[in-house]
Structure 1
């Protein structure tokens, strides 16, 4: 099995990104700009995702920078821009729903955009030799809105599942870590990390697997694992998917953002327990070892969410807070995390 080599994450204010020397960019795999920010400071050869999720604490714009620890090779495949090393590939694609061709069968523009984006991603990964999708981030506006006869999150799930099936990928079991959030505006945006060999999908014993959700959550189930684990030269690299206040398949603590945040961390701790059992003996994976992105539905809930996060993590862990709509209308907060890679805190 191939290893994740040299992967690192930095959450950087735009002002710091502007000051980076040209040679620093040689080892950058890709960048996601969260909130407001001028993309002109990112060199044209670097895969870039613009994500309209306003930053709620600190600078108005944060750059999520993934680096490889070695020079990267850049390329373009269709509408996907990517950079890669010998062991991993980062890519990004954004598709405007309004530019999707009309579908005679009445399939929504979002479903078609999602399907098209993932089909292009899988075509790239198969051709380039990185067939295993490790982590995917998905953003699109009005995630909870009912348009074209169904909720837009359900439409996204249908398009993603269509593409997985058409691309010869499983829609259960060996699936990537992922999240899907409602952005303030913009196109359907997907960025991702892929590997040569399949990572290990990790599930949460407190939750029903997302791909086995009952039909009350949509006619097509979500296609993601609760976490994804891959070996590296130091410790296993772990991506924890967007995690919310769900036990079994039901939302808990409706209307209580603090209780939902605490429940989200109980779920993350359960996932970490499963990851520790799957990891090599002696490898520690604890909440304080991870970096976090916290999605808050209502900006006014920020202070309450931050206090709860500090109770679980303290003040030394990198955390970025952004405003975004969560995939269920009754969910007020979602937390994602990653660890086992190098981390640089630019706060």
Structure 2
């Protein structure tokens, strides 16, 4: 079936997010199902032998998951077809696109601190350049949610921390594609550090525009003062999407930050509590925008990034106290964008669970 046929025959859509054992999802060859946008795999012995390029629907995440080997399965009620554009592999329906790009961070043989621009900055700019070009060509103009995975995010090379290098490259592409002229179009996002040598970016985009959400307890990330780097991070605190009467909520990676200051340095329990207070504030803002009490802490799914394995049990204890234990929560080990942060939490709500 041609994509043009799908675009004209599919009508309404729903976004779905389910969780399944990775072995079960892959053994059932879920990507042959015409409604699957993609399967997000985490590092495990099972995923190690799977090449993401074998199918555009496998999104490999360079982070280890703790607990059972669970994957995320993103889908829709529309027919989905695979595709690729330069380094991007994606699957799309008439309304939604889920894609991934992986770029190797390489330096010239005479690697030195005088390289301009630094390799991570160049790769970030190239990744977002490709993403924006694809969205422009596909008609799915609106970037809804982005997950960024950076090598050694807190390390400094070429005179600047890797996260700050990444922010320069990302913002350069946003400016080049005229995507900073309207703050309401800035997507929800997360950015965490990995031990991989690659920059990996997963993204969800679509025909429908989301409403960017900010947290009244925090300064908008794109307005951070210069002490956090030459360019501010380009993301909103969350995004609310009204998709054919489905009210989806994407909450960005959220940490123990009030205003623009890191709180509770060295105290992972207090940082977890502060992160949940911030998530609750974004939920309140989403409900205000929607005009209805649509979302609560107990109706969201969570992905938790923790820096130190020794802190995991403390974080789990706090979340089990603050959120209903039945709530789906995935735990992955990663470095956080600020070296003093020990935990970061993102959330998704309003999606249909099949």
Q: TM-score, normalised by structure 1?
A: 0.92
**Aligned pairs (5 A) from 1:97-246:** 97-98=105-106, 106-170=116-180, 173-174=183-184, 175-246=186-257
Q: State the partner residue of 1:263.
A: 274
Corresponding residue to 1:6 among 8, 11, 14 = 14
Per-residue CA distance 1:85-127 (angstroms, 9 max, x = gap): 1111111100001178999961110000000010000000000
**Structure 1 unaligned spans of 5+:** none
Inter-partner Cα distance in structure 1 for 2:41 and 2:108:
24
Aligned residues: 339
Q: State the partner residue of 1:303.
A: 313
SS of residue paired to 1:137? strand
Moved over 6 A (4+): 99-105
Q: State the partner residue of 2:95.
A: 87
Q: Structure 1's 171 and 185: CA in aligned 2 closer, same or farther, altered over 3 A?
A: farther
Q: State the partner residue of 1:74.
A: 82
* Conservation of the 8 A alpha-carbon contact between 2:36 and 2:80: yes
Corresponding residue to 1:313 among 313, 318, 323 = 323
* Conservation of the 8 A alpha-carbon contact between 2:14 and 2:246: no
Per-residue CA distance 1:244-286 (angstroms, 9 max, x = gap): 000000000000000000000000000000000001x334210
Per-residue CA distance 1:287-317 (angstroms, 9 max, x = gap): 1111100000001111000000111112111
Inter-partner Cα distance in structure 2 for 1:51 and 1:251:
27
Which range is displaced more, 181-190 or 98-107? 98-107
Deviation at residue 234 of structure 1 after TM alignment:
4.0
2:303 aligned with 1:293, yes or no?
Answer: yes
Q: TM-score, normalised by structure 2?
A: 0.90
Per-residue CA distance 1:191-220 (angstroms, 9 max, x = gap): 101111321000000000000001111110
SS of residue paired to 2:50? helix
CA RMSD in angstroms comes to 2.2
Per-residue CA distance 1:34-90 (angstroms, 9 max, x = gap): 12224539793333332221112223xx32221113320221111111111111111
Q: State the partner residue of 1:333.
A: 343
Per-residue CA distance 1:4-57 (angstroms, 9 max, x = gap): 822111232222113325675321112221122245397933333322211122
Q: State the partner residue of 2:264.
A: 253
Work out which structure has the larger RCO, using CA pairs closer than 8 Å and 6 or more positions apart in sequence: 1
SS of residue paired to 1:52? strand
SS of residue paired to 1:159? helix
Q: State the partner residue of 1:32.
A: 40
Inter-partner Cα distance in structure 1 for 2:108 and 2:258:
37
2:55 aligned with 1:63, yes or no?
Answer: no
